[in-house]
Amino acid sequence: MPKLRVHNLTVSLDGFAAGAGQRPDAPLGDRCERLHDWMFAAMQDLADGRTGTDVEFVERSEENIGATIMGRNMFGPVRGPWPDDSWQGWWGDNPPYHHPVFVHTHHPRAPLPMAGGTTFHFTDEPVETVLRRAFDAADGKDVRLGGGPATIQQYLRAGLIDELHLAIVPLLVGRGERLLDHVEEGIEGYRVAEMISSPAATHARLVRR
């Protein structure tokens, strides 16, 4: 049965998955420019044929994924009604997804087809509806849930996430968005199935009980 999976969700030592003040020159907000250093290094190692704990988790994130869900803040820094359709994401003309991507927003807009097979779909539907659409689009494969923290919290509270991989890095952010705030009793439906460290990050994998 297809699953909803979260991969490479990086949090600081003080629990923040995003800093304050997201803007075009700071996609993750203040004091978060090094948050994903472990992942970028692992991607380079993978490209160079090297192995290791971080590389293994990056490889897992691409296995059997047919669609992605994300929040509007992950798609870009524009807030409120879209002034126009000029913002097309952080990733250039050929985003790295190569499959349908569903973007939660209070301000839907027309689907945005990109090079390489990625099409962004903008929706204000409930999480359960969006997940059904994503599973249909994934055509039997799993769905990956991206950020930001508020979007992941919604799916956690609804008990919809089957597997959540956290990478905890030795960085202090101080303020911003904590991943595990506001999840209430939703987190009680999960257990830690794996925990392993590399020099760059501690990886924890949560699964449904």
Task: Give yes or no for residue 194 having a pLDDT over 90.
Answer: yes
With 90 as the cut, is the pLDDT of residue 185 above it? Answer: no
CATH of the domain at 196: 3.40.430.10
Using one digit for the tens of pLDDT, what is the confidence trace for 91-130? 999 999 999 999 999 999 999 999 999 999 999 999 999 9
User: Average of pLDDT values for 136-162?
Assistant: 95
What pLDDT, in 10s, does the model give residues 53-82?
999 999 999 999 999 999 999 999 999 999
Report if residue 85 sits inside a domain: no
Tell me whether residue 87 is in a domain.
no
Q: Nearest 5°: CA angle at 147, between 191 and 9?
A: 50
Question: What's the domain range around 148?
Answer: 4-78+93-208
Domain count, the chain: 1
Name the strand (E) or helix (H) holding 58.
helix 53-60
pLDDT score of 183 more than 90 = no
130 within some domain: yes
**Within a domain: 70:** yes
Q: What average pLDDT does the segment 46-55 reach? A: 97
User: From edge to edge, which strands make up the β-sheet containing 100-104?
Assistant: 112-113, 119-123, 100-104, 65-71, 142-145, 4-12, 163-169, 202-208, 190-197
